[in-house]
Amino acid sequence: MSTYFTLEALPARKGDCLLLHYGSKSDPRLAVIDGGPSKVYRPHLKPRLEEIRKARGLTDQRPLPLDMVMVSHIDDDHIRGILEMTGELTKAKQEQKPRAWDIQLLWHNSFDSIIGNTPEQLEAAVGSQFGTASLSGSVPADADPAVPNSNRRKRIVGYDAAKVLASVGQGHKLRADARKLDLTLGRSTLNAPFGELVIADGQQGSQVALGGDLDFTVVGPMKTELEKLQKKYDKELKKRGLDRSSGAAALAAFSDPSVANLSSIVVLARSGSKSMLLTGDARGDKVLKGLKNAGLIESRGRMNVDILKLPHHGSENNVTAGFFKRIHAQHYIGCGNGKHGNPEREAFEMLFKARGKSAFDIHLTYPVAEIDKERKKEANKAHQRGRRERAWDKDRDGLKSLFEQKKASGAKFRLHEPDDRGRIAIDLRTPVEF
């Protein structure tokens, strides 16, 4: 029997939007992992899903089954496209029109589950601090660290917090849409089989069989890490003379700009002997710790996977050379169009250092020239604003020059840029022909 196990990465601007094809030719299955920021769902994700639906021969009256939809965490560049999808589905249901897609299982961790506030308390706190526009995912203009301010550190921390706070309303909206679509905990289609939160709890209950010869092992977020986050939150509340029942208490939870990434769902997807490590925006050290807790890697050991999605769009802040030494992949995917500098040259330098002369593949969701163009613009803006010591230099900063230098030095890697349709697809078993 022909069995699929293909990871497809769509152009998602500064975010992630992945399609995981599995199952077989007679029983094809599909998972959507993140939907990217704005201007991703309608021009890229929706047309691709319609194409798959047509290839399967489904009529307008029969929705395309989405066996799983997973939002790794609530950042705008991961959740917005999924919200646009669920928004269309709820509208179709209200108008009693056929649905284009049928979500079978939704995984999504919301902050109200993590920090103990109700969505209403969270929204009230966010709205009072940053305005009602922030509840739709908009970062307040005056929170931008580029805006001159006498206390620059406070401004940047405020901006990071505002970005997270702006996603609170999005997380609440997705939960509301899930209820309207009957994807509730009572129906066991939201975060099943975990319950309120998708978490890794050692080797107990973190492996889920999804059918079609596919299973997910959840390696993050770890229960212990969320407990630490909760204790830190409670300590902050006590210092401020607040308790969890206070709407203002919600703001205290976001003093750490890494909070959203700490809640990122990380999974090892396996089909037969093939595997993919999907990291969301998690930190590399947390990924390694989660893998160790799940018994997938020894304390100082190494593991091999077929595909590794670079954490946080290839940001150097989320990985080290040690991370790449301990997790070897045949295929590395860097999602990002250069916005915020991602994927970063420094991350690839760490990768090359760790892999030496061994052969591997690098896949980018945008052409190298396009990524470098945006990275150059970002670097020069930072230089002009005093946040970077020097202007962009193509030989020292460009991805293109790095890849050329590594080729010249004998590095055995293959670089893959998007096809004519703007997609990257890695087939680990039978190639997907639709």
Top pLDDT among 136 and 81 is at: 81
What pLDDT shows up at residue 179? Answer: 87
In this structure, what DSSP letter does residue 319 have? -
For the chain, what are the domain ranges? 111-181+229-256
Comparing 12-26, 144-158, 233-247, 383-397, which segment has the lowest mean pLDDT?
Answer: 144-158
Q: Is the pLDDT of residue 141 over 50?
A: no
Share of the chain above pLDDT 70, in %: 76
Span 81-99, mean pLDDT?
94
Conformation bin of residue 272: beta by default, left when phi > 0, alpha when psi is -120 to 50: left
DSSP 165: H
pTM over 0.85: yes
Q: pLDDT digits over 299-350, tens only?
A: 889 999 999 999 988 888 889 999 999 999 999 999 999 998 899 999 999 9
pLDDT tens per residue, range 258-282 = 555 567 899 999 999 999 999 988 8
Per-residue pLDDT tens digits for 204-233: 558 999 999 999 999 988 887 777 766 666
Question: Residue 258: how many CB atoms within 10 A of its CB?
Answer: 17
Question: Could you give the CA distance from residue 74 to residue 358 in angstroms, rounded to a whole number?
Answer: 36
Residue 299: the pLDDT is: 83
Distance between CA 347 and CA 276 in Å, rounded? 19
pLDDT of residue 244: 52
pLDDT at 281: 85
| Number of neighbouring beta carbons within 10 Å of residue 376 | 18
pLDDT tens by residue, 153-187: 343 334 445 555 556 667 778 888 888 998 876 55
Give the pLDDT band of residue 248 (cuts 50, 70, 90). very low
For residues 90-124, one letter each, b for 16 or more C-beta atoms within 10 angstroms of the residue's C-beta and e for the rest, the string is: bebeeeeeebbbebbbbbbbbbbbbbbbebebbbb
Q: What percent of the chain has pLDDT over 90?
A: 56
Please give the pLDDT value at position 152. Answer: 41
Of 114 and 360, which is predicted with more confidence?
360
Whats the size of the chain, residue-wise? Answer: 434
Q: At what angle do helices 152-166 and 119-130 cross, to 10 degrees?
A: 140
Q: Is 229 helix (H, G, I), strand (E, B) or coil?
A: helix
Q: Identify the band that residue 137 occupies on the pLDDT scale cut at 50, 70 and 90.
A: very low
Q: Mean pLDDT for the chain?
A: 83
Give the burial string for 165-186 (b: 16+ CB within 10 Å, else e). Answer: bbbbbbbbbbbebbebbebeee
Are 283 and 318 a contacting pair, CB within 8 Å? yes
The whole-number pLDDT of residue 146 equals 44
